[in-house]
Structure 1
Amino acid sequence: MASSEPQPTNKQPHVLLIPYPAQGHVNPFLKLAKALHARGFHVTFVHTEYNHGRLLRARGAGAFDAGAEGFRFETISDGLPPSDLDATQDIWALCEATRRTGPAAVRGSSSG
């Protein structure tokens, strides 16, 4: 007879973290990602190409060295023009672009 209770598994839990791409959201999510990783979670940290570039400029290439297996960074488009360096400062444009492009971009990231 099959048991209806879940069977224990040795599979590492996986968390997909996607901070809202406005100022003030990325660093707290990054801290959360590192804390979860330290507790045994496989972490995929998904952020926008724009924020990826900002972190690289602010912290250097080492900003994305999680230092361990099981911590992965992915980037998605925020739907804003890459030529506009202040695009994310227009909160309404950011909301609309995120609403329009976010779901498909996240589905693409979570399937990998």
Structure 2
Amino acid sequence: MRDDEELTDDASPSNREEKKKVEKTGVQKVAEKTKHSHSFGYGNEDGPHRWTGKCQSGSRQSPIDIVSSAVTPMYYHPLKLDFLDVPGRINLTNDGNTSKFNM
């Protein structure tokens, strides 16, 4: 089965297992892209002098310095994760820079 093929709602055991494999593969791809993230900030230990590459120079680049007192709070519907019947523990965390999803 190709990654871009859509699975039907066939309840057969083999189809359920194949669907889980495809879902897990997608999660693994996201995890691979985020596992090398680095901490950054504006303090002495993680400030601009420690940023690498393009973010090390210039005045209009990420990471940006967001002034908390000037932020307008926004409220959104809670994040809904729909994973059918995937067994095991799922952990979604926000470290301030990225969201991390672990299974």
Higher helix proportion, which one? Answer: 1
Structure with more relative contact order (C-alpha pairs < 8 Å, separation 6 or more): 1
Q: Is this a same-fold pair by TM over 0.5?
A: no
CA radius of gyration, larger in: 2
Higher strand proportion, which one? Answer: 1
Query: What TM-score do you get using the length of structure 1 for normalisation?
Result: 0.24
